[in-house]
C-alpha cells in the first residue's frame, strides 16, 4: 500500500518512506551519481554476492533465497556487460539501480539484500575492490615501461652525451646512465603503488551506515570471498575514510610528474637545436600551416595531462579537509577525480611504454655536444688534485684555463701543452687522457657511476629484478 503511494507521487523507492513530496528533477540530477558510478557495477555485484552468502551463513536468508538472489544478480551482471541494462537517474546511484532491478526481478526476496549494510559501507567496499584491480594493472604496466627503458639503457650503455645541471653542460655521461635514472623513478613509483595497495586492501563491509549492525555478521566470511586481506577496525572511520583514494592520487601525481619530466627531456632532445634524438613519426604530428614541422605532441600531451592529475589530488584533499565524522555526501565527489586519474595515468604509461623503443638516438650529435661546453673541466681539476694540488686551488686553475679556452674559441683539449703548463707546472702530457669525454665517463666506474661497464652491469641487474617481479604476479 505504502509502495503504491510512493510510486504515485514518484518518490524514491529506497528511501522515500518519510517523504511526502517528490524531489525536483533538478535536485535528482544534482544528486545522482549513476552516470559515473555505474563503472563500479561489477564490483557492486561482487560485493552483494558476498554479502548474500554471509547473510545465509548467519541465518538471515534461507539457502533458496540466497540462490535466487545470487542467480538474479549474475543475470543483472550479464545484462550490464551486454549493455542492455537500463540505468535510471531517478534511482540515484549504481547501488540503487542494481537493487531496484533485483527487486523488479524477484520481488520481496530482493528487498532482503540490503539487510545489515548501508550504501555507506557498500560504496567504500566497491571503490576499494575496483581500485585494487586498477593497481594490479598499473603496477604491471610500470614494469613494462621499466623494461623498455632498461633495454634502451643496455643498447646505449656506452653512448656518450653531455649531462646537464641548470640545463648547462656539466659533465659527460652515458645515455644508458640517463635511462637508468628514469628507471629509478619508476622503480620508486612501483614501490609506492604496492605500499598504497596495502591500505586499499581493507574490507569496510559490515560498518553499515556508521555504527555497524545489530545482526551477528561474519566479516571474515565476506573478506575472504572478496579477497581482502584485512578487515576495517572502526566503523566510523571505515565509512568515511578516503585516505586510500588520496594516497593513490598522490602516487599517480608523482608518477605523472616523472612522466612529465621525461617528456620534457624528449621534447628538448628532439628539437633541432639539440638534435639528440628522433621520435618516430608514430609519436609526432605535423602542423597545419608549417609544412616543415614534426612536433612531439605525444610527450607534450603527457606533460599537459599531468596538470589534471595534480589538480585531482588537490580537489580530493580539499574534499576531505572539512568533513566531520562519519559519512557525508561530499564523498560522492571522490569518484570522478579518482577515475580520471586512473584513466589518465594508464593512458600515459601505455603510450610512454610504446614510445620508448621508438626513440632513435643520434649518437654523433650527442658526442659532439658532450665534447663542447668544457664538460671535462672537473676531470682536469681532479687530475691536479691527484698531483697534490688542493681542490680549491685546482678549481681556480681550471677556471682560468676555461677562461683562456673561451677567449681562444677552443675546447680544453685543444690547448697546447706549453700553454697548459703556464697555468700549473704539475700539468704534463698525460693531461690529455683525462680531457677526453671517453676517459671521463670510463673513470666513473663505481656503484651508481656513469661508466659504460657499470651501466651495463646495473642495467642487467635491473632487467633481472623486473623479470623476478613480473614472475611474482
Ligand atoms: N553515491 C554515494 C557515494 O558515492 C553512495 C553512498 C550514499 N549514501 C548516502 N547515505 N546517501 O558516496
Give the pLDDT of residue 17: 74
**What angle separates helix 335-355 from helix 243-270, to the nearest 10 degrees?**
30
Q: Is the preceding omega at residue 115 within 30 degrees of 0, hence cis?
A: no
CA–CA separation, 333 and 215 (whole Å): 30
If asked whether residues 94 and 125 sit together in one domain, one would say no
Residue 260 falls in the annotated catalytic set: no
Ligand 1: distance of its center to the CA of 336 in Å? Answer: 14
Kind and range of the H or E run holding 162: strand 160-165
Residue 140 falls in the annotated catalytic set: no
Give the pLDDT of residue 302: 98
If asked whether residues 409 and 333 sit together in one domain, one would say no
Query: Is residue 26 situated within a structural domain?
Result: no
- Under-50 pLDDT residues of the chain: 1-4
Choose the final residue of a domain: 115, 145, 176.
115
Query: Is residue 466 situated within a structural domain?
Result: no
Give the pLDDT of residue 2: 46
pLDDT, tens digit, for every residue of 328-374?
A: 999 999 999 999 999 999 999 999 999 999 999 999 999 999 999 89
CA–CA separation, 443 and 452 (whole Å): 10
Choose the final residue of a domain: 66, 83, 115.
115
Query: Is residue 150 situated within a structural domain?
Result: yes
If asked whether residues 99 and 203 sit together in one domain, one would say no
If asked whether residues 128 and 262 sit together in one domain, one would say yes
| Ligand 1 binding pocket mutation candidate from 23, 47, 97, 123 (most atoms within 8 A of CB) | 123
Distance set, CA 299 to CA 26, 149, 185, 292, 385 (Å): 41, 15, 17, 19, 43
| Ligand 1 binding pocket mutation candidate from 33, 87, 89, 119 (most atoms within 8 A of CB) | 119
If asked whether residues 289 and 424 sit together in one domain, one would say no
If asked whether residues 247 and 358 sit together in one domain, one would say yes
CA–CA separation, 433 and 173 (whole Å): 17
Query: Is residue 20 situated within a structural domain?
Result: no
439 in Cβ contact with 433 (< 8 Å): yes
If asked whether residues 133 and 256 sit together in one domain, one would say yes
If asked whether residues 92 and 159 sit together in one domain, one would say no
In total, how many domains does the chain have?
3
If asked whether residues 298 and 414 sit together in one domain, one would say no
Ligand 1: nearest atom to the Cα of 331 = 12
Q: Give the three cell numbers for residue 295.
A: 612536433
Hey, whose CA ends up nearest to atom 2 of ligand 1?
A: 332
Query: Is residue 470 situated within a structural domain?
Result: no
Give the pLDDT of residue 5: 52
Tell me, what CATH number does 393's domain have? 1.10.40.30
User: Which residue, chain included where needed, has cell 555478521?
Assistant: 217
Q: Is 123 in the pocket of ligand 1 (CB under 6 A)?
A: yes
If asked whether residues 111 and 242 sit together in one domain, one would say no
Give the pLDDT of residue 394: 97
Among the listed residues 166, 272, 388, 446, the single catalytic one is 166
Hey, whose CA ends up nearest to atom 12 of ligand 1?
A: 332
Query: Is residue 168 situated within a structural domain?
Result: yes
Q: Is 332 in the pocket of ligand 1 (CB under 6 A)?
A: yes
Q: Is 255 in the pocket of ligand 1 (CB under 6 A)?
A: no
If asked whether residues 392 and 336 sit together in one domain, one would say no
Query: Is residue 339 situated within a structural domain?
Result: yes
Among the listed residues 79, 271, 287, 428, the single catalytic one is 287
If asked whether residues 50 and 149 sit together in one domain, one would say no
Query: Is residue 221 situated within a structural domain?
Result: no
Distance set, CA 188 to CA 39, 195, 433 (Å): 30, 10, 38
171 is in which domain, residue-wise?
120-214+235-367
Tell me, what CATH number does 192's domain have? 1.20.200.10
Amino acid at each position: 500500500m505504502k509502495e503504491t503511494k510512493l510510486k504515485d507521487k514518484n518518490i524514491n523507492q529506497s528511501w522515500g518512506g518519510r517523504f511526502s513530496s517528490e524531489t525536483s528533477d533538478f535536485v535528482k540530477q544534482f544528486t545522482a551519481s549513476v552516470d559515473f558510478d555505474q563503472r563500479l557495477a561489477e564490483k557492486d555485484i561482487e560485493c552483494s554476492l558476498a554479502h548474500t552468502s554471509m547473510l545465509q551463513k548467519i541465518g538471515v536468508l534461507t539457502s533458496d533465497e540466497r540462490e535466487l538472489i545470487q542467480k538474479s544478480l549474475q543475470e543483472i551482471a550479464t545484462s550490464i556487460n551486454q549493455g542492455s541494462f537500463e540505468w535510471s537517474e531517478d534511482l540515484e546511484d549504481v547501488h540503487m539501480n542494481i537493487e531496484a532491478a533485483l527487486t523488479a526481478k524477484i520481488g520481496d526476496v530482493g528487498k532482503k539484500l540490503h539487510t545489515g549494510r548501508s550504501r555507506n559501507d557498500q560504496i567504500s567496499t566497491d571503490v576499494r575492490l575496483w581500485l585494487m584491480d586498477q593497481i594490479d594493472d598499473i603496477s604491471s604496466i610500470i614494469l613494462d615501461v621499466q623494461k623498455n627503458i632498461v633495454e634502451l639503457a643496455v643498447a646505449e650503455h656506452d653512448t656518450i652525451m653531455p649531462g646537464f645541471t641548470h640545463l648547462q653542460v656539466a659533465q659527460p655521461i652515458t645515455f644508458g646512465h640517463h635511462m637508468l635514472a628514469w628507471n629509478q623513478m619508476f622503480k620508486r613509483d612501483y614501490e609506492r603503488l604496492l605500499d598504497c595497495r596495502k591500505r586499499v586492501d581493507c574490507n569496510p563491509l559490515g560498518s553499515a551506515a556508521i555504527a555497524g549492525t545489530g545482526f551477528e555478521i561474519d566479516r571474515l566470511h565476506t573478506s575472504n570471498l572478496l579477497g581482502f586481506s584485512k578487515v576495517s577496525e572502526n566503523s566510523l572511520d571505515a565509512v568515511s575514510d578516503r585516505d586510500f583514494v588520496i594516497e593513490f592520487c598522490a602516487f599517480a601525481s608523482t608518477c605523472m610528474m616523472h612522466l612529465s619530466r621525461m617528456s620534457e627531456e624528449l621534447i628538448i632532445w628532439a628539437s633541432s637545436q639539440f638534435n639528440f634524438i628522433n621520435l618516430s613519426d608514430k609519436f609526432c604530428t605535423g602542423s597545419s600551416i608549417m609544412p616543415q614541422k614534426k612536433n612531439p605532441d605525444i610527450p607534450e600531451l603527457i606533460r599537459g595531462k599531468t596538470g589534471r592529475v595534480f589538480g585531482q589530488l588537490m580537489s580530493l584533499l580539499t574534499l576531505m579537509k572539512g568533513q566531520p565524522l562519519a559519512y557525508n555526501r561530499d564523498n560522492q565527489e571522490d569518484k570522478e577525480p579518482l577515475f580520471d586519474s586512473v584513466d589518465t595515468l594508464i593512458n600515459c604509461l601505455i603510450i610512454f611504454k610504446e614510445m620508448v623503443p621508438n626513440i632513435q638516438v643520434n649518437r654523433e650529435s650527442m658526442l659532439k655536444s658532450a665534447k663542447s661546453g668544457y664538460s671535462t673541466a672537473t676531470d682536469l681539476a681532479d687530475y691536479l688534485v691527484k698531483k697534490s694540488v688542493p681542490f680549491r686551488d685546482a678549481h681556480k686553475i681550471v677556471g682560468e684555463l676555461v677562461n683562456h679556452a673561451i677567449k681562444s674559441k677552443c675546447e680544453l683539449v685543444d690547448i697546447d701543452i706549453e700553454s697548459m703548463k703556464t697555468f700549473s707546472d704539475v700539468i704534463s702530457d698525460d693531461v690529455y687522457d683525462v680531457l677526453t669525454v671517453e676517459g671521463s665517463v670510463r673513470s666513473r666506474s663505481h656503484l651508481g657511476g656513469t661508466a659504460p661497464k657499470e651501466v651495463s652491469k646495473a642495467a642487467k641487474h635491473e632487467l633481472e629484478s623486473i623479470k623476478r617481479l613480473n614472475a611474482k604476479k
